[in-house]
A and B are shown apart, each in its own frame.
Chain A
Amino acid sequence: MANTKKYWKGIEQLDDESSFLDSNKNEFAEQLPIADFLGDKEKLEDSSTSRRDFLKYLGFGVAAASLAACETPVTKAIPYINKPEEVTPGVANHYASTYFDGNDYCPVLIKTREGRPIFIKGNKLSPLTKGEISARVNASVMSLYDNNRLKSPMINGESKTWAAIDNRLGKALKEAKNLKILTGTVISPSTKSIINSFIGASTSPNEDGNVNENNIIQYDMISYSGILDANKESFNKRSIPTYNFQKAKVIVSIGADFLSGWLDSIQYNVGYAETRSPEKEWMSKHFQFEANMSLTGTNADVRIPVKPSDYGVIIASLYNLVATDLGLNKVKVSILNKNYIKRVEEVAKHLLKNKEESIVVCSSNDKDIQTMVNGLNEMLGNYNSTIDLDKISNTKQGDDKEMMSLVNEMESGNVDALLIYGIDPVLSFGDRFKKALSKVKTTVSFASKMDETAAECNYVCPDSHFLESWNDANPVLGHYSLGQPTISPLFDTRQVQESLMKWTGTEGSYHDYIKAYWKENVFPKTEALLFIDFWNLSIHDGVVETKIEKKALNTINLTENVSKAATKVANIKVDSSAYELTLYIKEGIGHGVGADNPVLQELPDPVSKITWDNYVTMNPSEMKDKNYNTIFGQESPANLIAVTVGDKTIELPVIAQPGQAKGTIGIALGYGKAVGKMKELTGKNAYPFVVRDKDGSPLYTANATITDLEGSYPIAAAQTQQTVMGRGSIIKETTIDVFKNGNRDDYNPVLTLLSSETDEHGHQKPKPLAEFDLWGDQPVKNIGHRWGMSIDMNLCTGCGACVTACNIENNVAVIGKDEVRRGRIMHWLRIDRYYSSEHQPLGDIGSTHEKTKEALDVNGISAYTAMESADTDNPSVVHQPMMCQHCNHAGCETVCPVAATTHSNEGLNMMTYNRCIGTRYCANNCAYKVRRFNWYNYIANSKFEDINPSQDDIGRMVLNPDVVVRSRGVMEKCSFCIQGIQAAKLEAKNEGRPVRDGDVDCACSTACGSEAIIFGDLNDKGSDVRAGMEKDRAYRVIEEVGQDANVYYQTKVRNLKA
């Protein structure tokens, strides 16, 4: 069973494109331009360099080189004048802090070296995130060293001193009669208090004599007012509940990408992972209805592609099915697409079977649909078990109605002064806000970069980076955390809080303010005895938990409201002729925070694997009907199309996305910013497509029309240039039923080969693979350390946090779109995403199961062709992190002519850059294609001046001083973060104890809060990684090649019937 499944990496492989096949015979898809250079005889003869000249230059070069070698420039060593007590040069310090960008909250640990923050990892002490982190958070250290940050405050575009700002702006603010402050969601209680006192001091109080909070407007770049308003109506709480995915045996998501970007996705990742181990008592069953192929959708057990206009119908149908079973009233529902009926019934059955242990979430920002979701969850008894309305999340507080009335007020010219903090409304709200802003006399932006809003403001008072600032946060009721600066401000910036305090006339620093605030408001809620101890511990740990009260659930007319909402939803007319567009946010870019970060731009999208662009995703079969190119690769650019929503048109390339619901397209938000020194913008801003109703509440779905355009657009995809065609032993997967039967041979048989020995019938006897070996046993298997990894494909969601962590820890070069397009991406760790076609989970509608099987009887490539008609519409997906497997019998080691790559007695495949002469034999002979070659000196070559952050003095500060920066012409690859291994061993030796399990962590395993990647010593009998190796699910990728890898993968188990 496991061996009959076929995997394919991209459409082109599935399509049997002959050009693709040809190019994939070669390791590097593009020929070297030797022929261009030497083939043209005339050109050669014309060239001004004669042989004599060449010899002259050669002779001069040798002489110059020897002269230069004799005299070495003097190196200076400059010690501290007054060394801080806690800093020892060469030793890293870690500080607990807090990340919040208006969307994601994450408690973090900052690694600093000689006072420079260089790495961010999750804070394991946090009960919310338990050490989980996302790519955006760990790459945010790059944004600290972004040379495009504002370097001083500005008035009307001119740099000014803070004194000048305070003077002029102070007067302007005093003169303002109607002053407003517009912020993103503020989760810092002390900042809220500062804003309150600022407004209190600057504006007149309301009727009750209190601070007029109408002057404080919160607005989220990505709105969740649908859920917030629905909760206000259903439970009288305008807030987001805590979703306890860890308690949910059945997870139903309708469009919600809760593992990547939807609400508090970092927290949900942890909870979700807890339910996904098949070894545990139970494993959750995850249904996903969605239009775009989202990261969450790729992880679902059952994914059903549906149009976004059907979300309401599906929820109403589910509601009715559940209500009928429970003997409750049904609601009005329009006709459900017959394709989905059986699946919806299946989902309803599972939900009813797991009452109080299920969870239903939906991405829609329509209040009515969210009200129905509330009704459904309430009926299922999920509140106070999987959904906690007491422990409310504060990370989304934006109110689109308030924002709308602010815009109206601005347009009428009644607003005198507007301060904007933490958001870029000109980008996300669009031209209407820009026009309204021009009618405000005094406009102040606190943006740290010249974003679209800051460009329109009179005063720009740049905020310091979060790594330079004090802060606190109250992300979830009863959970506080602190942020502390880990470096002095690099530029002449000032924290927003300090600015507001200055203008209010509050004495002291913001640090003092937080401390006082905590003493008064947080400390009393804890059981700590002495404030100073509590404060010190809080700074050290970064997080504090306080007790909260449990309250009974208080629903208000929920059934009635659901019924009303359902009627409204059922009456919405659907235009079936247009394409339904879903705007989504990408794991790397978010709502725009990552758009100017080169590391995040180069992080391949977890699903499409495309870097440096946003694009229109479309179902491949529909693209074929329209004669669009469904292949994206180095040699095959994408078609350009114009997408029109209302009166807005954007030109974008169109990309084939298997699993995209037919009749729908998707575009990522947040793009359209300049990266580094690049003049061109990366991607296109899709916020203009956000449709707002009259209350200002935005919908992220719209009807769109598309028109073909002339010309093509090159696409830089990180996957497709390396193929592993048709080898069944790369991915192993099974279903929970088969796994629970407990017979390993059914899903992960021990590989055998036919031996020379024969049985009584003269047949060759099969023998386990381990008995065939060209080299004999590697001594490391029994002696000393044997470093290895265990990767659980059930827990890996493919989010990519490990990739960015690896890039930053190991100084992996950013090379830009053009080079990625050539298949030269430098990532040491990639996540391979494989689509598989065979699965027909419920064995119903349009089953191509038999057809597929039939097709598989055909040998060779035509088998894949036959599969095409089946499942580009709804493939299942596997994510497989792939890095150097540190083979004990490595192919690369035997072919290196200069022994630059060798094996250590701890099982590591070592790469010695200074020995490497760049033959690239090792890359050719690597079975896993994980070796990356430095085609350029990326940190010095002028071609990468605009893109590579290490090319400027500030950007270079993030480089890890423990890892060499590689130069041109050498091979590089994953080292298992050997700097960490060496450090942990040394610490153990110094303390005279063995290395403990958990002492050594790679950057990738540190970044993986779901513990999909476990690193450790395979020779340590008590280690987690050893336990992983000994699991029945454990196998090694293409084990039959006999390379004897040290990385073990766990067979993927889907929660499906056999």
Chain B
Amino acid sequence: MNKIINLTKANTLIRVSLFCLSFLFFHVDSFSQDTEKGKKLFKANCAACHNVGAKKVVGPGLQGVNEKYDREWLGKWIKNSQALIATGDDAANEIYNEYNKSIMPPQAVNDEEIDNILAYIANPGTEKAKGPAVVSGVPVEVVEEDNSMLMFMFFGVIILLLILIITLNKTGVFVKEVIAKDAGETYMGPRTLGQNLSKLMADNKGIVAAVVIVLFFGGLLNLVDGAFQIGVHQGYKPEQPIKFSHKIHAGEDQIDCNYCHSGARHSKSSGIPSLNLCMNCHTYIDGSDGKTFMYNGEQYSMVEEIQKIYDHLDYDTETQVYGDNPTPVKWIKVHNLPDHVYFSHQQHVVAGKQKCQTCHGPVEEMDVLEQHSPLTMKWCIDCHQETAVATKGNGYYDEMHNRMTPEFKEKVLNDGILTVQEIGGWECAKCHY
């Protein structure tokens, strides 16, 4: 989607008359007891460095480890790899050297737990299975819209109605002709639909005038309303070059907004995270477990989307080496404030103690990020009028209060709160300079 399309009224009507299809998918587990326990243990203890497949992460991929080594050796290695290496064990030293002598820390697990983990590695289960959208076992609602079908039906009904009117008209004229014939006269009245309509209008001039006036003013109102919407892109929801889902990151994984948008606390701009920040997690989470996710109503494979990060970074997942030709991701900016507005995230988030959601809406529920608020000046100053300043325990405001005259204090504090407007939040040069 390269252009923001303002919805026409008709389009809106159609949308209102939409109905949704919902499909519910349930994820069913069918693992034995110990693989289930093993999976949990693996996630808790091993997943940071190992993959259940053949892929190297920090340590080797563990696929086929049960066949390669015997159970006793594995137990020793897992409990204390360094001790095993010290005994001069060939297999242990081989791995140690292969991985540049990086030490696998001793794991506090008992034999039963090791069994469970190994069982899980031997049978990582249906995670590889392709299937309907499964995200961490949570049922996902998929919304589908079929615009073309609806449009077809809408126009069909209109055409049917037209045919009906024409037929009725013909029938009416026919009936009148017959009546006239019966009376021995020739029917002289209007014949076609057009003639009929003009007669109708000529007979009811008052009503026509009223309708015209209503239509004119209604149209004018509509025009003015429309003009106010120029440049307002509330609901703007472009698809991004990487199908990044805020729903997964901020919602399900509950990553704090400030982890990625750290600028919000320090700068006027909240910032878009650089790719090295993505790699803090996506070095390990590469989507190779075959999960899929929903984005803008469509299903995408995680591995493909995460691969885009690697491609941009020119990162080779096998050798874990960064290449020389990284390219930046060209995200599409969703919230566009005009250049003549100075907006500071820091002001609102730190000094004003506002939540991100106040302006950005329930981002944690959006897979495609959309512009939640209109970002109009009215919207800004409405909020400034109502919102109380976070004065409590702030030395700055204590000093400002000391400098107030009693009359001024009385004036601004009579309702119990000091709003942003009352300390100058409606002044032009607070945002425009």
Contacts and interface: CB of A to CB of B under 8 A. Distances in A.
Contact of B432 (A66, A82, A905, A964): A964
A768 to B, nearest CB: 22
Given A70-B6, A88-B266, A992-B393, A913 B432 contact: yes
A969 to B, nearest CB: 14
Interface string B346-371: 11001100000000000000000000
Contact of B428 (A902, A979, A990): A902
Given A76-B333, A77-B332, A82 B429 contact: no
Interface stretch (B16-24, B270-278, B290-298): B270-278
Contacts of A80: 274-276, 328
Contact of A986 (B5, B331, B332, B344): B344
Interface string A67-83: 00111101111111111
A1019 interface: yes
A989 B330 contact: no
A915 interface: yes
A78 B329 contact: yes
A916 to B, nearest CB: 11
B269 A782 contact: no
Interface in B390-433: 393-400, 403-405, 408, 423-424, 427-430, 432-433
B287 interface: no
B190 interface: no
Given A74-B2, A88-B267, A978 B433 contact: yes
| A-B CB proximity, top 5 nearest | A910-B429, A90-B267, A994-B399, A83-B274, A90-B269
B151 to A, nearest CB: 21
Contact of A78 (B331, B400, B428): B331
A445 to B, nearest CB: 34
Given A79-B274, A989-B394, A90 B263 contact: yes
B331 A989 contact: no
Interface residues of A, number: 53
Contacts of B400: 784, 994
Given A910-B427, A964-B432, A994 B271 contact: no
Nearest to A899: B428
Contacts of B272: 77, 79
Given A70-B230, A1019-B403, A79 B331 contact: yes
B266 A964 contact: no
B191 to A, nearest CB: 39
Interface in A910-929: 910-915
Nearest to B273: A79
Nearest to B389: A989
A270 to B, nearest CB: 32
Given A82-B326, A782-B403, A990-B346, 4 more contacts: A91-B266, A910-B432, A912-B429, A989-B351
A995 interface: yes
Interface of A: 66, 69-72, 74-83, 88-91, 779, 782-784, 900, 902, 904-906, 908, 910-915, 962-964, 975, 978-979, 982, 985-986, 988-995, 1019
A906 B395 CA distance: 18
Interface in B261-316: 262-263, 266-269, 271-277, 312-313
Interface of B: 2-6, 230-231, 233, 238, 262-263, 266-269, 271-277, 312-313, 326-333, 336, 339-340, 342, 344, 346-347, 350-351, 393-400, 403-405, 408, 423-424, 427-430, 432-433
B263 A71 contact: no
Nearest to B314: A81
Contacts, number: 166
Contacts of A66: 230
5 contacts: A78-B331, A782-B408, A913-B432, A989-B347, A993-B396
B403 to A, nearest CB: 6
A782 B403 CA distance: 7
B396 A994 contact: yes
B433 A979 contact: yes
B410 to A, nearest CB: 12
Given A81-B312, A89-B263, A995-B396, A74 B238 contact: yes
- B266, B272, B342, B403: residue with the most chain A Cβ atoms closer than 10 Å: B403
Given A71-B3, A75-B332, A81 B326 contact: yes
B277 A83 contact: yes
B329 A79 contact: yes
Contacts of B336: 72, 75
A89 B433 contact: no
B433 A988 contact: no
Contacts of B340: 913-914, 964
Nearest to B409: A783
Contacts of B427: 902, 904-905, 910
Contacts of A74: 2-4, 238, 332-333
Contacts of B428: 900, 902, 904, 910, 912, 915
Contact of A83 (B276, B333, B339): B276
Contacts of A905: 423-424, 427
A979 B430 CA distance: 9
A75 B333 contact: yes
B329 A986 contact: no
A892 to B, nearest CB: 14
A905 B347 CA distance: 19
A79 B242 CA distance: 14
Contact of B330 (A76, A90, A782, A914): A76
Nearest to B269: A90
Contacts of B313: 81
A993 B351 CA distance: 12
Nearest to A786: B403
